[in-house]
Structure 1
Amino acid sequence: MGRPKITVVGAGNVGGTTAQRLAEKDRYDVVLVDIVEGVPQGKALDIVQAGPVCGYSSRVVGTNGYEETAGSAVAVITSGIPRKPGMSRDELLATNAKIVKSVVTELVSRSPDVILILVTNPLDAMVHVARRVSGLPKSRILGMAGVLDSARMRAFIAAALDVPGPDVQAMVLGGHGDTMVPLPRYTTVKGRPVSELMSKDTLDGIVKRTRDGGAEIVGLLKTGSAFYAPSAAAVDMVEAIMRDEKRVLPCAVLCEGEYGLKDVVVGVPVKIGRSGAEQIVEYELTAEERAALDVSANAVRELCAAVDRLTA
């Protein structure tokens, strides 16, 4: 038995770093796919050459096609274009929907048992597109957003309280973006509710900064967007699946009645194991939290309707 194969589509900053983090686990064969000739091959070679120094012997292959991806257990899809200045939301939607559509079709035809993790933005709408074209059960199509948003919130809380980041647990629901719903009531430091450890104003400030987390980094970098934390979050999901961890992580999946949400892809707590999204875990929400989640779900519904219109 060889190692399980993980495919990463898109060899930009997020995809390249995801492939690197997976190689460093020393448990997987990694295939890095990109349409730009030479880029996935070059990055794969670079990652392999770091192996003797970093202590791993993972096989990493870069390719411009999909033959090498056959038999993948999980595929992380990062391909797509970032939103450029002056570009309308509809243009971004239509372009990335087209990219995701073709990527998913190529992957599923060669790896019928694959579990897809989408990273391409607008995230929730891309999960919707992948569902539509793949024909896969909903448990095998997940969007990476909540793990990243929670990580940002955890990092800000850890810095404010001067505690180790891993000691902070947080849960962020909803769509990825302006309508995300952080849950301070379910946010703890070594088991203690964060509300006992900081003022409401400080916490509100952190919630706002979490919501603007991606934009803050884009503003600082000027060209490009975050990739260290997004790749770490995607790999966390891959590991939860491949190691059958049954951990509860916030992911964008199709809701069919959970949280009162029907037929919409939105970020919710999900128990993740070897078969993907094994169960949506329902937290008790206050009326205010539920209302915020409804607003978020409606924003995603509008996006999905726009995608359907643009790609019909």
Structure 2
Amino acid sequence: MHLPKIAMIGAGQVGSTAAHLIAKKELGNLVLLDIDAGMAQGKALDIAEAGPVDGFDVAVTGTDDYAEIAGSEVVVITAGLARKPGMDRAELLRNNVEIVAGIAREVARHAPEAYVIVVTNPLDAMVCTVKEVTGFPAHRVMGMAGVLDSARMRRFIAEELGVSGKDVTAMVLGGHGDRMVPVRGSSTVGGIPITELLPADRLDAIVERTRHGGGEVVELLKTGSAYYAPGASITEMVESIVRDQGRIRPVAAHLQGEYGVSDLYIGVPAIIGAGGVERVVEIRLTQAEREQFDASVEAVRNLIAEARAARQS
């Protein structure tokens, strides 16, 4: 059986967690890459040694040489500096745009046919940077944002109602940050609209908690940011591509007229399969949600403009 080659750029907490989950599902043979000498090699060895216990049998190798990612069908970029308490996503841009642009050049050189999932924050600016630097077609470059944000919202709804998170659906659009747009009309529990199960004030509280979900984890950890839920979200996206599942998931996708937006990466529902972002799905928004989405689009445009300026400076 052919196993695709999957490259994880960045062997920190997010990258190594995702790599372990990808290995457990046997989605492909893995290459972990990190510039920190020994980091990727040590994490890869540790994951590989879990195989006999976890029951998976895929190759897991570590390296600091980009030549080792040659032939990768999927590349996941998690490398970059993590957000610290009190730091907003815009501040991260100045630190991470140079790192991600450098990675993008190496990916274009060594894995020119790969599908790329960007995770590094600030997400919307970083995924745009990867698209522009690699020159890859838009359907092969996407950002992991809405899958994670929606998962958080689903968990908060499940806790509020005392139900299984498996029965909860949610959809979060817009930029990956404080201006994200949780869509209430697309949130259900066992097919029942969430608006019929929760009063408006409790739903408002869940929406706000979702918007600040990443910051809540950062404040609690104090010395790092989330990695279990991001790792699981990455794995779901990788699986949808390599197993051609055609799942509708909220991702940072390149819009060309959808939602009235052109030439911009922003979180929207899309069909994810063997062709990457195969189609953006447009859903109905309320007037309030549309206004919030437009405000999020404007914020992302400004962030991307800052990223472009930083690359040129």
The structural deviation recorded for 1:57 is: 1.1
The structural deviation recorded for 1:83 is: 3.6
Separation in 2, partners of 1:274, 1:88: 34
**Residue 254 in 1 paired to residue 254 in 2?**
yes
Separation in 2, partners of 1:39, 1:100: 19
Separation in 2, partners of 1:227, 1:93: 19
The structural deviation recorded for 1:89 is: 6.4
Separation in 2, partners of 1:68, 1:15: 17
Give the TM-score normalised by the residue count of structure 2.
Answer: 0.97
Aligned 1:176-255 pairs, distance under 5 A: 176-255=176-255
1:78 touches 1:120 (CA, 8 Å); kept in 2?
A: yes
- Structure 1 counterpart of 2:138, one-letter code: K
Secondary structure, counterpart of 1:142 in structure 2: strand
Q: Percent identity?
A: 53
The structural deviation recorded for 1:94 is: 2.8
- Structure 1 counterpart of 2:179, one-letter code: T
CA, structure 1 residues 89+4, in 2 after alignment: closer, same or farther (shift >3 Å)?
A: closer
- Aligned position for 2:309: 309
CA-atom RMSD, angstroms? Answer: 1.4
Aligned 1:1-312 pairs, distance under 5 A: 2-84=2-84, 92-312=92-312
Aligned length, in residue pairs: 312
2:44 touches 2:62 (CA, 8 Å); kept in 1?
A: yes
Separation in 2, partners of 1:18, 1:87: 24
1:168 touches 1:189 (CA, 8 Å); kept in 2?
A: yes
CA, structure 1 residues 188+95, in 2 after alignment: closer, same or farther (shift >3 Å)?
A: same
Secondary structure, counterpart of 2:198 in structure 1: coil
- Structure 2 counterpart of 1:156, one-letter code: F
The structural deviation recorded for 1:26 is: 1.9
Separation in 1, partners of 2:89, 2:123: 13
1:94 touches 1:311 (CA, 8 Å); kept in 2?
A: no
CA, structure 1 residues 84+228, in 2 after alignment: closer, same or farther (shift >3 Å)?
A: closer
CA, structure 1 residues 169+70, in 2 after alignment: closer, same or farther (shift >3 Å)?
A: same
Separation in 1, partners of 2:87, 2:225: 16
2:118 touches 2:126 (CA, 8 Å); kept in 1?
A: yes
Separation in 1, partners of 2:231, 2:87: 25
The structural deviation recorded for 1:67 is: 1.6
**TM-superposition CA deviations, 1:39-89 (whole Å, max 9, x none):** 110010000111111101111000001122111111110000124568786
Give the TM-score normalised by the residue count of structure 1.
Answer: 0.97
Structure 2, unmatched stretches of 5+, are none
**TM-superposition CA deviations, 1:169-198 (whole Å, max 9, x none):** 100000001100000111011111011111
